[in-house]
């Protein structure tokens, strides 16, 4: 039993959170965000609006402008600083997704990318020197749904069912300014109904004891999937400069909660739930992958399932996965053990021969 004691004075361990805070700020943070959806849904524009910066410049255009229309996975890294805190943001884009006539297995490159990042982290975690362990695992996947008003496409359902156990999925209605408010509400209800019907697991927001946080979480849950609008254009409205889109009938403001759910997404993704997204990735998705990977491997490093759990080589100094390296070390140990036994027997025979005990 743990006894609770009342201190007679100030000891000082109440400042431990400040020590953790200073250490975390000094080390910096990493976050990997994946955006998936058909071309032309405004994925790059939304990312620029989220982080108030132009990640894709003229010299380095967005993936949809420089990649052929095949499903590939492209990474873009940018180091951002705000208030003395630095964030290494990795944007994973999938140009060409859903653009082909036959989209069979178009989700496979995305699955392979997520699994490869899990594999890299598992290899880093299994090395002798684990001080440098970059976390390149995908922490969140923003899935863009076309504003058709007719529910989810079969491709949307199949993609989310294939990846909902590997990554945190947050569904978004892209270009929500093309729908009227009534159409948007009906579209949201239709999408959530189909998600429940097909048992798709989207990101679950944690419940806390704080009433204000629970109110924020409830607000986000009630407005899922989030209807977003992105814009790189600054427009002046009522003597105030805002990001928005100009139409003949008015301006669709990106950061106006009455026009879209962009502010909810940004606050949730960056200000309130970024760390929880990383924790769920580490404690749930990565642990599931790690358990399956290690359970498929026998004690001698040979895979029982040749298709699912096959060990892959990594570009490291060792040149092989940790389990294969352990097997190699075991064989070397057996070889040296046999060598030393033979050498000891040979020396004993030589000594006895010199003493005249062996002729």
pLDDT given for residue 335 in this prediction:
65
Q: How many domains does the chain have?
A: 1
pLDDT given for residue 177 in this prediction:
81
CA torsion angle 291 296 298 300 (round to 10): -90
Task: Kindly write down the DSSP assignment for every residue of 300-356, as one continuous string.
Answer: TS-BSSTTTS-----SSSS-S-HHHHHHHHHHHHHHHHHHHHHHHHHHHHHHHHHTT
Q: Which of 157-166, 215-224, 346-355 is least confident?
A: 346-355
Please say if the pLDDT value at position 315 is more than 80: no
Split at pLDDT 50, 70, 90, the class of 337 is low
pLDDT mean across residues, the chain = 76
Per-residue pLDDT averaged across 140-150, rounded? 85
**pTM for the full model?**
0.71
Three-state DSSP class for 164?
coil
**Within a domain: 358:** no
Please say if the pLDDT value at position 111 is more than 80: yes
**Within a domain: 323:** no
pLDDT given for residue 248 in this prediction:
82
Instruction: Characterise 193 by phi-psi region: left (phi > 0), alpha (psi -120 to 50), beta (else).
Output: alpha
Split at pLDDT 50, 70, 90, the class of 71 is low
CATH number, domain with residue 199: 3.40.50.300
pLDDT given for residue 254 in this prediction:
77
**Within a domain: 355:** no
**Within a domain: 150:** yes
CA torsion angle 346 347 353 355 (round to 10): -160
What domain range includes position 112?
28-56+70-97+107-298
Per-residue pLDDT averaged across 116-122, rounded? 88
**Within a domain: 187:** yes
pLDDT given for residue 59 in this prediction:
47
Please say if the pLDDT value at position 314 is more than 50: no
Q: Which of 31-35, 58-62, 123-127, 187-191 is least confident?
A: 58-62
pLDDT given for residue 100 in this prediction:
66
- Among 77, 90, 22, CA closest to 281: 90
Per-residue pLDDT averaged across 222-236, rounded? 82
230 close to 298: Cβ distance less than 8 angstroms: no
pLDDT given for residue 341 in this prediction:
67
**Within a domain: 41:** yes
Q: Which of 5-9, 24-28, 107-111 is least confident?
A: 5-9
**Within a domain: 335:** no
**Within a domain: 64:** no
Split at pLDDT 50, 70, 90, the class of 175 is confident
Cα dihedral sign, 80-261-46-205: positive
Please say if the pLDDT value at position 310 is more than 50: no
CA torsion angle 340 342 343 345 (round to 10): 120
pLDDT given for residue 209 in this prediction:
76
pLDDT given for residue 323 in this prediction:
58
């Amino acid at each position: 039993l743990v006894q609770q004691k009342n201190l007679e004075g100030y000891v000082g361990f109440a400042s431990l959170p400040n020590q953790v805070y200073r250490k975390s700020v000094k080390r910096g943070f990493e976050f990997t965000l994946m955006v998936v959806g058909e071309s032309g849904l405004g994925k790059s524009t939304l990312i620029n609006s989220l982080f108030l910066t132009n990640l894709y410049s003229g010299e380095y255009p967005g993936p949809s402008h420089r990649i052929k229309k095949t499903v590939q996975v492209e990474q873009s890294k940018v180091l951002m600083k705000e208030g003395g805190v630095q964030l290494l943001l990795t944007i994973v884009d999938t140009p060409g997704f859903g653009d082909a006539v036959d989209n069979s297995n178009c989700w496979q490159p995305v699955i392979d990318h997520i699994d490869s990042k899990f594999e890299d982290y598992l290899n880093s975690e299994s090395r002798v020197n684990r001080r440098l362990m970059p976390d390149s695992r995908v922490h969140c996947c923003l899935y863009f749904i076309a504003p058709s008003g007719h529910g989810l496409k079969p491709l949307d359902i199949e993609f989310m069912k294939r990846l909902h156990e590997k990554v945190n999925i947050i569904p978004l209605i892209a270009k929500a300014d093309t729908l009227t408010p009534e159409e948007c509400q009906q579209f949201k209800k239709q999408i959530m109904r189909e998600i429940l019907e097909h048992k798709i697991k989207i990101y679950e927001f944690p419940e806390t004891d704080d009433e204000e946080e629970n109110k924020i979480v409830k607000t986000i849950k009630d407005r899922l999937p989030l209807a977003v609008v992105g814009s790189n254009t600054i427009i002046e409205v009522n003597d105030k400069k805002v990001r928005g889109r100009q139409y003949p009938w008015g301006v669709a403001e990106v950061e106006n909660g009455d026009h879209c759910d962009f502010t909810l997404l940004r606050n949730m993704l960056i200000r309130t739930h970024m760390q929880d997204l990383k924790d769920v990735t580490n404690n749930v998705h990565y642990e599931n992958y790690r358990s399956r990977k290690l359970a498929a491997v026998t004690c001698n490093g040979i895979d029982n399932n040749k298709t699912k759990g096959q060990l892959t080589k990594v570009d490291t100094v060792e040149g092989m996965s940790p389990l294969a390296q352990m097997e190699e070390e075991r064989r070397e140990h057996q070889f040296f053990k046999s060598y030393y036994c033979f050498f000891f027997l040979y020396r004993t025979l030589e000594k006895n021969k010199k003493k005249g005990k062996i002729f």
